[in-house]
Amino acid sequence: MADLQDDIPTTTEVGEDDILPDAPPPVPVSLDGAAPHPEQPAAELLAQAHALLAEHPVADGYSGLPWALRHLPWYDLQLGEAAVDTDVPRMREGHVGALFWSLHLPEGPGGGRAVSAALEQLDLVRTVVEAHPEGLRLVRTAGQIIDARNCGRVAVVLGPAPGAAVEDSLGILRILRDLGLRVLTLAGTAWAGASGLTRFGEEVVREMNRLGVLADVTGASPATAERTLALSKTPVLCTRSAARALRPHPANLPDELLVALGAAKGLCMVPLTAEQTGPTVPDVADHLDHVRDVAGPECVGLSGTYDSGVVHPRDLADASRYPHLIAELLRRGWSEAELALLTWGNVQRVLRSADFTARAAQHRRDASTARIGDLGTP
């Protein structure tokens, strides 16, 4: 994929002329009255970021790699592939330990085409992973992610898939789960619209809970997001959402939804895109700061959105650049515990919670046979 980062306009920085010539620069003072430590050199922060990520690698919440690869006649992710943003060498350089692969669907598929398109994407993912056994491993659970990491492999998690892939059929949802699907995006369906979840939509969420499939409310209406948060017994994801208070993108979350997501122990995975978070690393860090402060450190994650056709901030052009973002967060005073949650721990918590809830629900509830025509609208 062509590197589009040169198209991003540069930002204006504060210059030295903003300091009065006859007055010494003010010395910042911490809350306890003590002068802070001098700022660490950039090279030292970057080395510290690499060391931290070696212990707590990145679980990247969204990758468009399967859809990007389908247009290439030949590729080798193990040795490196310049035509895409993600390959094994760059994931190793960026300390990526797990990657959620989106099952992208062509625009407007109908008449059963959405189901076949989803199955074709699943087949492609399996083919890609099997062709790169030294670097990739297809996984389903949090425990399998750790096993893959211990074996030196990048864990590939299936999802998110668009809600259209289930074709308003809970049976198809179960089949996709049996094939490994872990995340389903609710937006863009007849049962999760502007007015919220229909009765059938609520049944879909309950069945997802029973199966351990996580609900993704990225791009969903506020009514759908709020109802899903209230109904779901497992954590809810926003796989590509930043802070609307900082950048008014429609997929970004307002503070009231961030508060509700934090209260429900959900996860907002901030995308590394110039459109949603801004053109620089500090812009992305501002969104991460905001989500952490509003929703809590247990409710913020990362979503590279590489190979999805979007423009990325400068210095975050591909999957190798995560240490530069972590170095910026270290400079801002993020603790190791907070960074460990951001990169790895929060995704592990969400997956483990979904698996635990599913095991319990399957003892109490049989598979739903509800049909959209039977339940209809609210």
- Predicted confidence (pLDDT) per residue in 255-305, tens digit: 999 999 999 999 999 999 999 999 999 999 999 999 999 999 999 999 999
| CB-CB contact of 342 with 288 (8 Å) | yes
Average the pLDDT over 48-74 and give the result.
95
Residues sharing a CB contact under 8 Å with residue 17, sequence separation 6 or more, in sequence order: none
pLDDT value at position 376? Answer: 54
Token duo for residue 318 = 């591909």
Say yes or no to pLDDT of 347 above 80: yes
Say yes or no to pLDDT of 7 above 50: no
Average the pLDDT over 7-11 and give the result.
36
Between CA 248 and CA 260 the distance in angstroms is 19
Q: Which range is least confidently modeled, 80-94, 110-124, 332-346, 350-364?
A: 110-124
Average the pLDDT over 220-246 and give the result.
97
CA angle in degrees (0–180, nearest 5) for 111-112-118: 140
Highest mean pLDDT among 15-19, 37-41, 110-114: 37-41
Highest mean pLDDT among 3-7, 38-42, 70-74, 249-253: 249-253
DSSP secondary structure string for all residues of 332-346 = TT--HHHHHIIIIIH
pLDDT value at position 114? Answer: 87
Between CA 370 and CA 204 the distance in angstroms is 9
Q: At what angle do helices 222-231 and 199-211 cross, to 10 degrees?
A: 50
pLDDT value at position 110? Answer: 52
* 16: confidence class by pLDDT, cuts 50, 70, 90: very low
Cis peptide bond prior to 160, omega within 30° of 0: yes
| CB-CB contact of 69 with 308 (8 Å) | no
Q: Taking the CB of residue 209, how many other CB atoms lie within 10 A of it?
A: 21
pLDDT value at position 112? Answer: 61
For 145-189, write each residue's pLDDT tens digit.
999 999 999 999 999 999 999 988 999 999 999 999 999 999 999
Between CA 377 and CA 190 the distance in angstroms is 9
- Beta-strand ranges (E) seen in the chain are 58-63, 96-101, 136-139, 154-158, 161-162, 183-185, 192-193, 196-197, 214-216, 237-238, 267-271, 300-303
pLDDT value at position 106? Answer: 77
What integer best gives the mean pLDDT of the chain? 89
